[in-house]
């Protein structure tokens, strides 16, 4: 309802503008057209994302985040892996290999970037730099396809749902979302200007996506590849193609190196080994994969697994249309304010969109269809968070078209949108209203959510820091424990750690573990009572 009210106000203002020379809009557009404006927008966008995170040095909270940060620390120390600990199943944590060595299961692209910040003790700076790059590229690309006001509206309304929530995180989508926009921008400039540097930039960006999220990279590359091949064949630009292939191949060659240094086999990806060891259902397929985990699951994963296995059972070809509709529904809600109204505006924008926009539209379709092969929760829309910007841009461009008609602004071309949209002061006003009444409350809500997620683990860490080392802390989870917020995490330098944090696996196995570490004093964290005490065998759960 709030977005509808803002749209109605903008339409009223556009009606009042009818037939007048819009000096205010042109003045605003003049500022937004400056070369440095994307940089300013990117910096502001990054500052907003950082503030929404709730801390100057935010911690990794969710399992995936912890794995990425652990791997970044290894890279910053000049290592691919850390030695496997004794009785490795006690050290197991989600998304981290503990045999034949300690390493995150994920491809290395994102963690390699985080390692640059880790060298200076502030990996968050890399995430914020990626947010700045993303904000700047959103504005630059949208401005090139429309005008500065539409670009500003897109940048503002992108601070919503998945786009805002996961921008303030350690997930690899922070890397791929920024680099996908760089890829599109480079493709557009190469298509328009024929400069070879742009296809090199395209290959660099797409190649780094491939070593961060390979499946997503394959999907994103399909529409891009169609355009590149069409232009290469039409203009005989074979040298450009050869150069791009060489650059992309050089980057993707990191994958077999990463595999060899982690698993000992260049053909065995760590993520593949982890899937076989712990989550045999976690790969694109339909129906039930009957393979069983080869290793004992860590407690948090043991709690989550039944839910994912239930999703796998329901993930059949017969239910594919139902699954597609459900996921599209969640994606729309996670991308748009007021999905029905925003969707209608996007249809208006799509009807008159230039051909370049259809690369983004095709990417949205391909990403949604591609991930239909992966059994997961319908609400887990982070898999295609990177392409949400296309939907936001189309809805803002659709509103701009409506306001242009109401304000009786001229258009380049009779039936097609062939150039920058004429600016309207009403759209600028809508941007201000959206920032004030839509984005601001959501920013505060996400900040509170991030702080709440970190608070419990911060208190746990503070309690662990008071344990006299060297020690072992057995963690006994409460019935209300959230399996997404893990307490059982260990440094890659586990040998020198003051306290080892491991699960309570029962007296017999706990005592066997303690015999392997005779110099460490045993402690127990009983989460139900929120208490740390000395561990005494025989105490009932």
Q: Taking Cα atoms as reference points, which of 182, 224, 220, 189 lies closest to residue 204? A: 182
| DSSP string across 315-377 | --GGGHHHHHHHHHHHHHHHH-SSHHHHHHHHHHHHHT--TTHHHHHHHHHHHHHHHTTS---
- The residues near 78 (Cβ < 8 Å, ≥ 6 apart) are none
Using the predicted structure, report yes or no on whether residue 413 has a pLDDT greater than 70: no
Please give the pLDDT value at position 411.
55
Q: What is the arithmetic mean of pLDDT over 524-535?
A: 90
**Before 470, cis peptide (omega within 30)?**
yes
Report the range out of 52-61, 173-182, 478-487 with the highest average pLDDT: 173-182
pLDDT of residue 540: 54
Which tokens in the block code for residue 489? Answer: 């995490």
- pLDDT of the residue at 486: 86
pLDDT at 418: 43
> With helix as H, strand as E and coil as C, how does 30-47 read?
HHHCCCCHHHHHHHHHHH
Averaged pLDDT, 67-93 = 94
Position 415 scores a pLDDT of 38
pLDDT tens-digit map of 181-229: 999 999 999 999 888 999 999 999 999 999 999 999 999 999 999 999 9
Number of residues that this document lists for the chain? 541
- pLDDT score of 254: 97
Instruction: Give the DSSP letter string of 398-461.
Output: HHHHHHHHHTT---SSSSS--SPPPP-HHHHHHHHHHIIIIIHHHHHHHHHHHHHHHHHHHHHH
| Mean pLDDT over each residue of the chain, to the nearest integer | 91
CB contact burial 174-186 (16+ within 10 A = b; e otherwise): bbbbbbbbbbbbb
What local confidence, expressed as pLDDT, does residue 19 receive?
A: 59
In angstroms, the CA 53 to CA 72 distance is: 20
Residue 416 has pLDDT above 60, yes or no: no
Q: Tokens representing 157?
A: 């309304």
pLDDT band (50, 70, 90) for residue 412: very low
- Nearest-CA neighbor of 108 among 249, 216, 217, 258? 258
Split at pLDDT 50, 70, 90, the class of 499 is very high
Shortest CA distance to 165 belongs to which of 61, 34, 22?
61
If you ran DSSP here, which 8-state letter would residue 60 be given? Answer: P
Please report where in the chains the tokens 């966008």 appear, as a residue: 45
**What pLDDT score was predicted for residue 182?**
98
For residue 434, give both structure tokens: 């959206």
Instruction: Convert the pLDDT of each residue in 342-384 to its tens digit.
Output: 999 999 999 888 888 999 999 999 999 999 999 999 999 999 9
pLDDT above 70 for 129: yes
What's residue 538's pLDDT?
67
Percent share of the chain, pLDDT over 90 = 73
pLDDT of residue 13: 78
Query: Which of 146-160, 376-390, 404-418, 478-492 is least confident?
Result: 404-418
- Mean pLDDT over 164-193 rounds to 96
């Amino acid at each position: 309802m709030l977005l509808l009210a803002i749209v109605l106000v903008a339409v009223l203002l556009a009606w009042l503008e009818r037939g007048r020379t819009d000096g205010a809009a042109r003045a605003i557009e003049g500022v937004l057209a400056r070369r440095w404006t994307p940089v300013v927008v990117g910096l502001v966008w990054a500052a907003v994302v950082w503030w929404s995170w709730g801390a100057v040095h935010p911690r990794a909270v969710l399992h995936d985040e912890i794995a990425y940060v652990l791997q970044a620390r290894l890279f910053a120390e000049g290592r691919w892996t850390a030695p496997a600990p004794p009785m490795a199943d006690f050290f197991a944590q989600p998304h981290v290999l503990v045999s034949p060595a300690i390493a995150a299961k994920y491809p290395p692209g994102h963690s390699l970037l985080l390692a640059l910040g880790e060298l200076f003790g502030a990996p968050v700076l890399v995430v914020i730099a990626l947010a700045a790059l993303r904000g700047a590229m959103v504005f630059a690309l949208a401005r090139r396809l429309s005008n500065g006001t539409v670009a500003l509206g897109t940048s503002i309304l992108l601070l919503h749902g998945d786009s805002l929530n996961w921008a303030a995180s350690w997930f690899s989508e922070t890397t791929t979302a920024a680099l996908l926009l760089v890829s599109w921008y480079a493709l557009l400039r190469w298509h328009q200007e024929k400069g070879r540097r742009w296809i090199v930039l395209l290959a660099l960006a797409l190649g780094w996506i491939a070593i961060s999220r390979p499946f997503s990279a394959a999907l994103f590359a399909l529409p891009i590849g169609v355009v590149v091949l069409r232009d290469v064949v039409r203009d005989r630009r074979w040298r450009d193609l050869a150069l791009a292939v060489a650059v992309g191949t050089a980057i993707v060659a990191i994958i077999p190196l990463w595999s060899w240094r982690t698993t000992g086999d260049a053909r065995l990806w760590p993520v593949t080994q982890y899937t076989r060891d712990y989550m045999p259902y976690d790969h694109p397929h339909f129906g039930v994969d009957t393979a069983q985990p080869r290793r004992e699951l860590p407690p948090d994963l043991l709690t989550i697994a039944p839910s994912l296995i239930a999703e796998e059972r329901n993930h059949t070809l017969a239910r594919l249309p139902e699954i597609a509709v459900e996921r599209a529904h969640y994606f729309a809600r996670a991308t748009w304010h007021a999905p029905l109204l925003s969707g209608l505006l996007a249809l208006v924008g799509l009807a008159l969109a230039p051909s370049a926009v259809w690369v983004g539209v095709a990417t949205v379709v391909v990403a949604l269809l591609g991930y239909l092969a992966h059994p997961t929760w319908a609400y887990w829309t982070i898999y295609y968070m990177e392409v949400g910007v296309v939907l936001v841009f189309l809805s803002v461009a659709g509103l701009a078209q409506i306001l242009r008609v109401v304000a009786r602004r001229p258009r380049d071309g009779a039936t097609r949108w062939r150039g920058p949209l004429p600016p309207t002061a009403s759209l600028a006003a809508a941007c201000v209203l959206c920032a004030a009444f839509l984005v601001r409350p959501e920013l505060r809500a996400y900040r509170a959510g991030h702080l709440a997620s970190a608070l419990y683990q911060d208190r746990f860490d503070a309690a662990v820091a008071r344990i006299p080392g060297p020690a072992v802390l057995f963690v006994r989870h409460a019935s209300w424990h959230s399996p997404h917020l893990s307490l059982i995490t260990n440094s890659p330098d586990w040998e020198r750690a003051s306290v080892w944090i491991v699960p309570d696996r029962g007296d017999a196995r706990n005592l066997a573990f303690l015999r392997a570490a005779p110099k460490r004093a045993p402690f127990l964290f009983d989460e139900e009572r929120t208490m740390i005490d000395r561990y005494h065998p025989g105490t009932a759960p």
